[in-house]
Structure 1
Amino acid sequence: MALSPLNAISPIDGRYRSKVEKLKDYFSEEALIKYRVLVEIEYFIALCELPLPQLETVEHTLFDALRDIYKNFTADDASAIKDIEKVTNHDVKAVEYFIKEKFDTLELSAYKEFIHFGLTSQDINNTAIPLSIKDAMNAVYVPEYFELLEKIEGLAKEWEAIPMLARTHGQPASPTRLGKEVSVFAVRLKEQFNLLNDVPSAAKFGGATGNFNAHKVAYPAIDWKAFGTKFVQEKLGLQHSFPTTQIEHYDHAAALFDALKRINTIIIDLDRDIWAYVSMDYFKQKIKAGEVGSSAMPHKVNPIDFENSEGNLGIANAIFEHLSAKLPISRLQRDLTDSTVLRNVGVPFGHTIIGFKSTMKGLGKLLLNESKFAQDLENNWAVVAEAIQTILRRESYPNPYEALKGLTRTNAAITQSSISNFIDTLEVSDDIKSELKAITPSNYTGI
């Protein structure tokens, strides 16, 4: 049966496929095969440019035709490689044999044994996968991130003058402004993105145990370390990890996943706060004709987009956490656990993009209910107690905190009138009393 949204096991390939379609170019099996082909082709070209003595006669005019093998890579090419793999039972070796067939077509048969020369499969995997991650970050993740960031910053600006009752420990606290509270998330996101940008995309390239053993024994006069660094950094645009074991040590990859996890955590925090504001009636939500909020309660308009985002980002973080904890650990010079784990690297990216889009959708449906903000502030005059006792401290008034504590920590309602009456009892000048009475929950919002 052909894969469809109805029979896919993963919701990424099923229910949410349309939201993450672009990721297939970087994290699908076909994409991985294509990136392997790219590395193998560019490596052969680099050997020609060195040049190795046996490759001096390769016409450089053929390089474009060689690059077309991966630039014009098709699903049929991927299927052909998978057919070869059924015989070899080795995915990278299947790529090598596929390219050898292409060399026959290009009349390069005499040079076929320099495909994958001196390499181990991990030289291909540990360059192909970081390259695919880097490309996916630039092509998919970063645009989605900036779209969400710009939305958050836009709302912070739009709501910058809206006074709001703050809540610490869930209890009424010194007032703030809605825009400021939203801007907190924008600043947090930008700071973590800056850290994310500092993480290099690192790759291993050095033979079976990382020492260029095969290269050196065949051509001892060549500086293979310099060649490997130049190839990885100038040809592929990655950072060359050296020395390594057979595999990349993945420390930088772990740092990347941890940084992505922190960004997701900030958005989860935003999701939960907006969810709470909706439950407090600070926001209404735009209603779409025909939509149902509850199968039983017709009145319901649920904040499902923020809940969907929180759930997907939570799954993403769980997998990012496993990747960052597992990948840097490998028995001796290598075991195979990194291979099967890395095949899932696109999964947390998929759930992350779904989460970003869900938060974006939720933010786009919010309708500000200003009257509720004003009502909550008016119902909580006790929050100006901090302001009053601070000014009294400034004036060296005896025990101001205790005086306000006695007024406010009662079950009696604290109103503008009771605050004003309290101020009238204070032994301070009329100017100070006027200053204190000018403070309201709506204007005591700081800077």
Structure 2
Amino acid sequence: MKFSNLCSVSPLDGRYKKITQKLSKIFSEYGFIKYKLMIEIFWLKYLSNIKEIKELKKFDNNTNIILNKIINNFNLKHAYKIKKIEKITNHDVKSIVFFLKKKLSNINNSKKIIEFIHFGCTSEDINNIAYALMLKDARRYHILKHWKKIIKKMDYISLKYKNIVLLSRTHGQPATPSTMGKEIANFSYRLKRQYNQFKKIKILGKFNGTVGNYNAHVFSYPNLDWININKNFVKSLNINWNPYTTQIEPHDYISEFFSCIFRFNTILINFNRDIWGYISLNYFKYKFKNNEIGSSTMPHKINPIDFENSEGNLGISNALIQHISFKLPISRWQRDLSDSTVLRNLGSILSYSIISYHFINIGIKKIKINKNVLKKDLNNNLEILLEPIQIFMRKIGIYNSYEKVKLLFRGKKINKKKINNFINTLNISDIKKKELYNLTPFNYIGKSIFLSENIKLYKY
């Protein structure tokens, strides 16, 4: 049977391929091979510029052009050649070394150049830098862009709905009014904090040999300052240098990196559930297309499936993040291989997150506020006005105000007439009574509008 997306075991490469395919350039086997090949070439070129290594002369322009072409012209055919070599070697990095040796076998002074491929390196020097660059590119070109899009939409609807008063619910019960704009602004602010933290997380790399001590480097060229040489090489790739490692970079930064994504995702799970609840209460109408079907048997159904899909995929992503955040920083002695297979799933983790971001953006576009239902709900729960009434009573010195209001009204259905009758019994001036008469759920909203409007001041 000819392969099709329908044959994929994972929905990442099947049902959701159109959403995740951009990440495949980074996190696929092909992408991983290319990053490793790039690093081998970058290191070879870097060594050629160290004048004290007399056995490797500075590359001429022609050699540099050839090396650059190997990177720029790298394609699937080349990747398959490397995989073919790997079937024999059973070693992914060494297969790239053999591939590169063959590619350079016909250039001038090739024998000497070839011997400096992978010079002083352990495989993890190549792998950890590859993952660092992959995560750097994923953050810059994908994750932050998706996050920014979500936050921008939240800021927009926060301003759009700044005047739309809604009945708050604490413990699921009617509570002090807010505005829909302010409730969305709460999420926007939380997400902006994670966005700003995520940008600042330092991506680390190490390039110090088999157990992190530059043993082979020093033995070969004892007079060279290998610590600074390797430090500058790592920094030349626009990542941060980790000076203390075993054979592996300890992955603490990867745990930090994904823990921030975990927090961003958790906030979005909260958002999805709240919006789902507001749709259930009919506070939001959910736009639909005539040809879409909500249920195979109930023709009336319009389901908030985008928020549900988003929540589900966020959950999968976060479950995997929990594992890697605990597992990756732990390695037996100078190294074990259990991190290797886990690291190969970083793309899957990010893919599940990006699927969820895709659906949340679609969902936000589909919701439309239902003012009539919000208004009705507020007018049917006038007991929420008892809070400002008892606070006002306390302010003007009426003793035991809270207890009096509680004794009279708690557990009873309240309407405007009952509230006004109670106000009439208070021994206060007509001016003060008028203040209380004029109190409604729609003007008892504190600084909600101000807070909605000012969410745009918090930069990201």
Both structures adopt the same fold (TM-score exceeding 0.5): yes
**Aligned length in residues:** 445
Written as runs of structure 1 = structure 2, the 5 A alignment for 1:44-55 is: 44-51=44-51, 52-55=53-56
How far does residue 403 in structure 1 lie from its aligned partner after superposition? 1.6
> Is the contact made by 2:45 and 2:59 (CA closer than 8 Å) also made in structure 1?
no
SS at match of 2:7: coil
The match for 1:243 is: 244
Q: Deviations over 1:292-336 (max 9, x none)?
A: 000111100001100000000000001111111100000000000
Written as runs of structure 1 = structure 2, the 5 A alignment for 1:243-392 is: 243-392=244-393
Query: CA 1:108–1:17 in 2, change beyond 3 Å: closer, same or farther?
Result: farther
How many angstroms apart in 1 are the aligned matches of 2:109 and 2:393? 89
How many angstroms apart in 2 are the aligned matches of 1:57 and 1:230? 18
The match for 1:200 is: 202
Structure 1-normalised TM-score? 0.98
Q: Deviations over 1:50-84 (max 9, x none)?
A: 23211125314422321221222101110010011
> Is the contact made by 2:144 and 2:195 (CA closer than 8 Å) also made in structure 1?
no
Written as runs of structure 1 = structure 2, the 5 A alignment for 1:138-153 is: 138-153=140-155
How many angstroms apart in 1 are the aligned matches of 2:331 and 2:92? 21
How many angstroms apart in 2 are the aligned matches of 1:64 and 1:319? 42
SS at match of 1:185: helix
How far does residue 154 in structure 1 lie from its aligned partner after superposition? 0.6
How far does residue 144 in structure 1 lie from its aligned partner after superposition? 1.2
How far does residue 143 in structure 1 lie from its aligned partner after superposition? 1.1
Task: In structure 1, give the amino acid aligned to 2:437.
Answer: K
What are the ranges of 5 or more consecutive residues in structure 1 without an aligned counterpart?
none
The match for 1:7 is: 7
How many angstroms apart in 2 are the aligned matches of 1:89 and 1:3? 26
The match for 1:103 is: 104
SS at match of 2:411: coil
> Is the contact made by 2:285 and 2:367 (CA closer than 8 Å) also made in structure 1?
yes
How many angstroms apart in 2 are the aligned matches of 1:49 and 1:391? 78
1:31 correspondence with 2:34: no
Task: In structure 2, give the amino acid aligned to 1:192.
Answer: Q
Query: CA 1:124–1:316 in 2, change beyond 3 Å: closer, same or farther?
Result: same
Query: CA 1:151–1:346 in 2, change beyond 3 Å: closer, same or farther?
Result: same
Deviates more, 1:175-184 or 1:397-406: 397-406
Task: In structure 1, give the amino acid aligned to 2:5.
Answer: P
Written as runs of structure 1 = structure 2, the 5 A alignment for 1:59-208 is: 59-110=60-111, 111-208=113-210
Query: CA 1:278–1:108 in 2, change beyond 3 Å: closer, same or farther?
Result: farther
The match for 2:399 is: 398
Runs of 4+ in 1 over 2 A off after TM superposition: 1-4, 105-108
Task: In structure 1, give the amino acid aligned to 2:220.
Answer: A
Task: In structure 2, give the amino acid aligned to 1:200.
Answer: K
The match for 1:415 is: 415
How many angstroms apart in 2 are the aligned matches of 1:71 and 1:139? 19
How many angstroms apart in 1 are the aligned matches of 2:415 and 2:253? 57
How far does residue 108 in structure 1 lie from its aligned partner after superposition? 4.7
How many angstroms apart in 1 are the aligned matches of 2:294 and 2:59? 67
SS at match of 2:368: strand
The match for 1:232 is: 234
Q: In angstroms, what is the RMSD of aligned CA positions?
A: 1.1
How far does residue 21 in structure 1 lie from its aligned partner after superposition? 1.1
How many angstroms apart in 2 are the aligned matches of 1:198 and 1:2? 46
How far does residue 2 in structure 1 lie from its aligned partner after superposition? 5.1
How many angstroms apart in 2 are the aligned matches of 1:272 and 1:96? 50
How many angstroms apart in 1 are the aligned matches of 2:247 and 2:219? 17
SS at match of 1:137: helix
Query: CA 1:352–1:101 in 2, change beyond 3 Å: closer, same or farther?
Result: same
How many angstroms apart in 2 are the aligned matches of 1:242 and 1:80? 35
Q: Deviations over 1:20-43 (max 9, x none)?
A: 110011100000000000100000
Structure 2-normalised TM-score? 0.95
Task: In structure 1, give the amino acid aligned to 2:228.
Answer: A
What are the ranges of 5 or more consecutive residues in structure 2 without an aligned counterpart?
448-460
How far does residue 133 in structure 1 lie from its aligned partner after superposition? 1.1
How many angstroms apart in 1 are the aligned matches of 2:181 and 2:306? 21
SS at match of 1:6: helix
The match for 2:458 is: none
How many angstroms apart in 2 are the aligned matches of 1:58 and 1:179? 61
Task: In structure 2, give the amino acid aligned to 1:267.
Answer: L
Deviates more, 1:30-39 or 1:402-411: 402-411
Name the structure, 1 or 2, with higher relative contact order (CA <8 Å, separation 6+). 2
SS at match of 1:200: coil
How many angstroms apart in 1 are the aligned matches of 2:425 and 2:167? 27
Query: CA 1:2–1:90 in 2, change beyond 3 Å: closer, same or farther?
Result: farther
